[in-house]
């Protein structure tokens, strides 16, 4: 029953949306999406009654890239699992470190993260990630109302 004081989990965007193309595709590989949501739910249950001594953060990145990290000003955080995009592994690692260093700010939360110029509705994100498409100024912007962008 010993719990980690500040646990950070890297899960996946679209993990709560089994009808989305991203979920369906990724779940072909050993039912990975089903296992990820089970893992998230198990951690939430384990940390439910720990009071202020222990907390967790679930980070749900979009499609991972090998690109250089773009930094906080290029990222968008969101909640509700309705929007995703691409994000550099280095940026996900930086978010994990920040969540570990500041558990009072990020603890008990779940959020999606992606490059702000790649964010799209889940129904279209799979194709845009494969094509490595960025949003263009003339594209209509899909907003959930929960988007948050970083500043230095």
Q: What is the pTM of this model?
A: 0.84
pLDDT band at 152 (very low <50, low <70, confident <90, very high): very low
Distances (CA, A) of 51 to 2, 4, 9, 35, 59: 14, 13, 19, 26, 21
* Ramachandran angles phi, psi of 10, nearest 5°: -100, 115
Residue 136 Cα to chain centre, angstroms: 22
For 72-121, the pLDDT digits (tens) are 999 999 999 999 999 999 999 999 999 999 999 999 999 999 999 998 88
Q: How far apart are CA 77 and CA 55, in angstroms?
A: 19
Average pLDDT over residues 5-31: 92
Instruction: Please report, for the chain, how many H helices and E strands are present, in that order.
Output: 5, 9
């Amino acid at each position: 029953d010993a719990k980690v004081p500040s646990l950070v989990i890297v899960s996946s965007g679209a993990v709560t949306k089994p009808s989305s193309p991203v979920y369906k595709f990724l779940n072909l590989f050993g039912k990975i999406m089903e296992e990820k949501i089970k893992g998230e739910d198990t951690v939430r249950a384990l940390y439910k009654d720990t009071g202020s001594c222990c907390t967790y953060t679930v980070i749900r990145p979009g499609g991972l890239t090998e690109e250089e990290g773009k930094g906080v000003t290029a990222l968008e955080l969101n909640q509700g699992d309705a929007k995703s995009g691409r994000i550099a592994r280095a940026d996900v690692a930086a978010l994990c470190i920040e969540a570990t260093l500041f558990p009072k700010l990020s603890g008990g939360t779940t959020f999606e993260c992606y490059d702000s110029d790649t964010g799209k509705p889940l129904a279209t994100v799979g194709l845009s990630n494969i094509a490595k498409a960025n949003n263009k100024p003339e594209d209509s912007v899909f907003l959930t109302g929960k988007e948050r962008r970083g500043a230095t």
